[in-house]
Amino acid sequence: MSAHEHHEHPTPAQYWKIAVFLAILTAIEVALFYIDEELDLQIFNAIALISLSTLKFIVVVGWFMHLRYERPLLTRFFTAGFVLAVALYLVVLSAMGIVAIRG
């Protein structure tokens, strides 16, 4: 372990709780897919699914990858790559006039 890793990481029991939380979020996502097929939630379905997916993403990166316990430099590197990629490809999709998602 590096000297800077002095923050308390979660315990195994806490990791299990985080995994259960992630599983519940996944179950809600799948349920939303079927609810949308019945009720046609349109844009609200896309917003809800992307929000849930983002939450899962943040939990895995923050707790399982321990980014929230690491030095800010790593967060900056990782966030920079993510933001650059999302911005770049949103520009591409917008330029092509296509956002081919349900909603």
Partner 1 sequence: MADLAHDTADHHPPHESTGIDNRKLGMWVFLSSEFLFFGALITNYLLYSNRAGYDGIYPAAIYDIPFTSVSSFVLLMSSLTMVLAHNALSRGDQNGTRTWLFATAALGAVFLGGQVFEFTEFIVEYGMTMQTNPAASAFYLLTGFHGVHVAIGVIMLLSLWGISRRQGELSEKHGMNLELVGLYWHFVDIIWIVIFTVVYLLSYPPT
Among residues 7, 22, 35, 41, which is the contact residue for partner 1, using CB under 8 A? 22
DSSP annotation string for 42-71 = THHHHHHHHHHHHHHHHHIIIIIS-GGGS-
Looking at residues 25 to 84 of the shown chain, list those that interact with partner 1 (rule: CB under 8 A).
26, 29-30, 32-34, 45-46, 49-50, 52-53, 56-57, 60-61, 63-65, 70-71, 73-74, 77-78, 80-82, 84
Residue indicated by tokens 């590096």 = 2
With contact defined as beta carbons under 8 Å apart, do 71 and 55 qualify?
A: no
Torsion of CA 4, 5, 8, 9, to 10 degrees: 150
Residue indicated by tokens 């990782």 = 78
Binding site for partner 1 (CB under 8 A): 1-4, 9, 11-12, 15-16, 18-19, 22-23, 26, 29-30, 32-34, 45-46, 49-50, 52-53, 56-57, 60-61, 63-65, 70-71, 73-74, 77-78, 80-82, 84-86, 88-89, 92-93, 96, 98-103
